[in-house]
């Protein structure tokens, strides 16, 4: 049975066997345009964090129905921005009274 690992996002990755790993490493050494990074180089790499915000938004706590949140989340990344757009549109069309 192949070795697997589970990522934080829940995806299951199948790890290469020792023979497959040796083949991959050999391919890296044969390619003049690439190399295998050292442990030090790997330790210096990090994923980029969140992008810097515009500074015009304010963080709040807001309680919404779970099915509403699930619907927005199901449409992919940027769901909070889409909720913001829907609320802005409602204000612009007078659905929500301000002041």
Residues 87, 90, 93: CA angle, nearest 5 degrees: 150
pLDDT values of the chain reduced to their tens digit, one per residue, 99 residues? 789 999 999 999 999 999 999 999 899 889 999 888 899 998 888 877 777 777 788 889 999 999 999 999 999 999 999 999 999 999 999 898 766
Question: CA-to-CA distance for 96 and 87, rounded, in angstroms?
Answer: 8
Question: CA-to-CA distance for 51 and 53, rounded, in angstroms?
Answer: 6
**Residue 49 to residues 38, 81, 93: CA-CA distances in angstroms?**
23, 18, 36
pTM for the predicted model, two decimal places: 0.47
């Amino acid at each position: 049975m192949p070795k697997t690992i589970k990522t934080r996002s829940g995806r299951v990755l199948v790890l290469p066997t020792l023979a497959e790993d040796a083949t991959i490493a050999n391919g890296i050494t044969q390619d003049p345009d690439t190399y295998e990074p050292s442990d030090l180089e790997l330790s210096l790499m990090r994923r980029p964090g969140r992008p810097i915000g515009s500074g015009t938004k304010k963080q709040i706590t807001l309680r919404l129905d779970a099915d509403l949140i699930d619907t927005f989340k199901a449409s992919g990344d940027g769901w909070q921005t889409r909720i913001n757009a829907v609320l802005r549109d409602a204000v612009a069309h007078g659905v929500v009274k301000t002041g």
